[in-house]
Structure 1
């Protein structure tokens, strides 16, 4: 079949060609792919790549070009109808309800842990690294974790609630380097089991719990609360419920750090492939939506943006995964390679396009009396500055600026 003119116009505006000779051009191997792409957009793009319908040497650049030119909009009636139905569904139903959130845990976070161990490296941090002074993934992740603790003014004896704790990266640093007592919650049974086994000798308590179930645990208020890479699963219908739950967990003088992917613009459009296969029900807030959800509940003390660091993080994850693939492929299967490549590199393209943002906010209760001063590292030495616990162990005097 001939390539539909609508597709040619959309890709042409992005300077992307079908069967061109540049690294970011698509090499199509199955002609039926064109019609599927026209009808279902990003879902067909991702599914087609996983099936082997097309290839691209520089996949992240191709995705970035398409996003910058607006080619992710529905091009056919079927796509526009689906987008309208999805918007109505989000208004009427709650795609981020408790049952659905547990489904996300099973779908994505409970896959073979060897994939994450190979990809993430020793930190096991599954969120954007902080590359301000780092030159490799491990340093970027450790810098991010220490930055979070320092922004929270974490000190020995503090009680920290880690909401959406992943594989325990922040809990590890907070307990081992800052002397905090950590309660960590996740919706993934596999993550909880990993933390219990890995950090059995540290003051970390972990539970499988949705944030909406926190009141049922009857926990004492926390000095600090952190949520890294979890807010993307909350959804705009639940924003105020989430923020109120965090407010209720905090001591009046406490601090919260929220680390989340954001959208450069307010939109109800989602990537159908990501929504279907990776993060069902995931919705990214715009700055306006984030502020609207916070208003009247928590105050913003600090807001830092470093979205371009996520492209470097994702590319580093892909490099790690590709290096480990020869030993992983015997157990996981060849199809997973293309699935995971498309996931990581298409997301890298999303951040390269700058439609994707990464924000760290420091938040406080409205009745906090202490003045908060923002923290930004100014040199390589800052990353290795002694934490309060490290300084106490060595007999040094330490303060948080």
Structure 2
């Protein structure tokens, strides 16, 4: 009798209309597929039931997070091989799903997979998956979403991020380590904001306090850092106390919409604006504008996506929305600039750092893989699998220009029109 792996490969290739770029090892020990390719390990029939109930990336994600699917070989190679068949596949290419189902070979392939999967359908969702109404962006829903992503455990994030505890794109040179690249990113932000001793800085989405600490220690500013994560705030306050900077740095658990003690000389928002949401973005920009003194500067560091012909059809990646960033939304950089300008800002500089984020993510994945057993023990095996897949796939997305990351420097220019910037402001690049 033919092994399950050969039957799986045959059915998958009929459905995809292309040769499967991976080997498959099935639960019965059989293996099939192109030699030398990474091996997708289908550990049980439940993995098929997950894929049949939710075809595409969400079904794959559920099978991966639950451990029903595994991989032997390089994760980046495997993700790159299947990206064109799963994530980049245009449904209309073959006349859509209904047209495909009229094909006898496609129907036969689905029937074969149903036989292999067996009853019952569907399996329960992994506990790591978020189940809630989408894109509410109320104070309560935003706090829940932030808690889901960031309150995984500070020890887990220390393992992945390293001593810098910076969870955003680093700024690399050929001789950088992850630590020096993150320090250089923080200094780049400070230089763009032109921070000077005695000024007030608001750090929106302050994370574990790295930006607040760097700005206070290296530039003598007074910093208020706000986060919605209780775990982050506790960790950041401890770091501030240990650095002897409690007189200059205050860490609050507070929504940016509730900050009312302006004006500030500068605002940094690093990797936070992706959580704001399209419908709330103009409010976000106006709130930050109102918190700045005339002449004050905003440095908005934000992941962006490529624009689409029909923006109304855009939806966040299903896996990321369900497992990583609930309610997160990405916008093209042009949309971000427009919203900042509508709020009253004068946009003075935009810098793309796409390749820098790919390098950063690969280092984080390496940290996770190097201490996998401890990571799984700290956060749970399912959560560790979520982060490994999410970070590796994101690295490939940055490398392929599917998504990018941009630093936008904007000024609350006074009525008389004096921005306060030098004629050649890019002195931060040396």
TM-score tier, shorter chain, comes to 0.7 to 0.9
The 5 Å alignment of 1:33-52 reads: 33=47, 36-37=50-51, 39-50=54-65, 51-52=67-68
Higher relative contact order (CA 8 A, sep 6+): 1
Select which of 342, 353, 357 maps to 2:404: 357
Where 1:117 maps in the other structure, the secondary structure is: helix
Select which of 367, 375, 389 maps to 2:426: 375
Per mean C-alpha deviation after superposition, the further-off stretch among 288-297 and 107-116 is: 288-297
| Shift in Å, 1:350 | 1.9
In 1, are the aligned partners of 2:292 and 2:412 still within 8 Å (CA)?
yes
**Residue 238 to residue 17, structure 1, CA distance change in 2 (3 Å):** farther
Q: Whose radius of gyration is greater, 1 or 2? A: 2
Select which of 267, 270, 280 maps to 1:225: 267
**Residue 341 to residue 357, structure 1, CA distance change in 2 (3 Å):** same
**Residue 187 to residue 332, structure 1, CA distance change in 2 (3 Å):** closer
Superposed CA RMSD: 2.8
**Residue 270 to residue 332, structure 1, CA distance change in 2 (3 Å):** closer
- 1:60 corresponding residue in structure 2: 76
**Residue 359 to residue 27, structure 1, CA distance change in 2 (3 Å):** same
Structure-2-length-normalised TM-score: 0.76
Distance 1:209 1:255 in 2: 21
- Deviations 1:312-340 (CA, angstroms, capped at 9, x unpaired): 11111122223333444445444444333
Where 1:150 maps in the other structure, the secondary structure is: helix
- 1:250 corresponding residue in structure 2: 292
1:135 corresponds to 2:182:
no
Distance 2:319 2:151 in 1: 19
Distance 1:134 1:265 in 2: 34
- 2:385 corresponding residue in structure 1: 338
Distance 1:349 1:11 in 2: 22
**Residue 375 to residue 25, structure 1, CA distance change in 2 (3 Å):** farther
| Shift in Å, 1:95 | 2.7
The 5 Å alignment of 1:2-401 reads: 3-4=11-12, 7-9=15-17, 19-23=33-37, 26-30=40-44, 33=47, 36-37=50-51, 39-50=54-65, 51-55=67-71, 57-64=73-80, 66-67=82-83, 71-72=87-88, 75=91, 94-200=135-241, 201-202=244-245, 203-214=248-259, 218-266=260-308, 267=311, 268-297=314-343, 298-367=345-414, 369=418, 370-372=420-422, 373-375=424-426
- Deviations 1:55-91 (CA, angstroms, capped at 9, x unpaired): 252323443455567734575769xxxxxxxxxxxxx
- Deviations 1:180-204 (CA, angstroms, capped at 9, x unpaired): 1001100101111111121023111
| Shift in Å, 1:253 | 0.8
Structure 2 residue runs of 5 or longer lacking an equivalent are 1-7, 25-32, 99-132
Question: How many positions carry a matched residue from both structures?
Answer: 361
Per mean C-alpha deviation after superposition, the further-off stretch among 169-178 and 364-373 is: 364-373
Structure 1 residue runs of 5 or longer lacking an equivalent are 79-91, 383-401
In 2, are the aligned partners of 1:42 and 1:72 still within 8 Å (CA)?
no
